[in-house]
Amino acid sequence: MAIRPGASTAPLPHQIPIQTTFDPPPGYEVERVVGPCWGITVRSRSVVGTTCAGCQTIFGGEITMFSELANETRNEAMNRLEQHARQMGANAVLGFRFDSSELMQNTNEIVAYGTAVVIRRTSAAP
């Protein structure tokens, strides 16, 4: 299931746990490690947006256009990470991280990655 171009990049309510820790959520244990999973998106800044942001730097403060672009891009990468993990048969992602790099001028790659796992509730779960 791919995200359509132009589709909303708002954070989806996650259908599986996505954790920055390498431990499963309380009351769960890792049944099986599925493997690495990721969600990638590449975004470019428009000439108009870059120009407007340049104007904002004159007055100082937050460059809201870039903050919004970064937030939307991270949400899109995270949504794709969840989709990839679910396609792999996982029901959780552990060790979740973001990474970014500039591919060319005004173009950034954002990667959300982690370890796809299958977790199960333990008998001692709260």
The CATH number of the domain holding residue 35 is: 3.30.110.70
In this predicted structure, the answer to whether residue 105 has a pLDDT above a threshold of 70 is yes
Residue 5 lies in a domain: no
64-82 residue pLDDT tens: 777 788 888 899 999 999 9
Q: Give the span between the Cα atoms of 76 and 49, in whole angstroms.
A: 20
Secondary structure element (H or E) that encloses residue 71, with its range: helix 64-87
User: Residue 63 — pLDDT band, cuts 50, 70, 90?
Assistant: low
| Residue 54 is assigned to a structural domain of this protein | no
Q: 107: domain range?
A: 28-44+75-121
Q: How confident is the model at residue 6 (pLDDT cuts 50, 70, 90)?
A: very low
Integer Cα distance of 80 and 82 in angstroms: 5
Residue 108: inside a domain = yes
Identify the band that residue 88 occupies on the pLDDT scale cut at 50, 70 and 90.
very high
Helix axes 47-59, 64-87, angle to 10 degrees: 130
Separation CA 112–CA 119 (nearest Å) = 20
Whether 100 is in a domain gets the answer: yes
Number of C-beta neighbours around residue 39 at 10 A: 24
Which pLDDT does position 66 carry in this prediction? 75
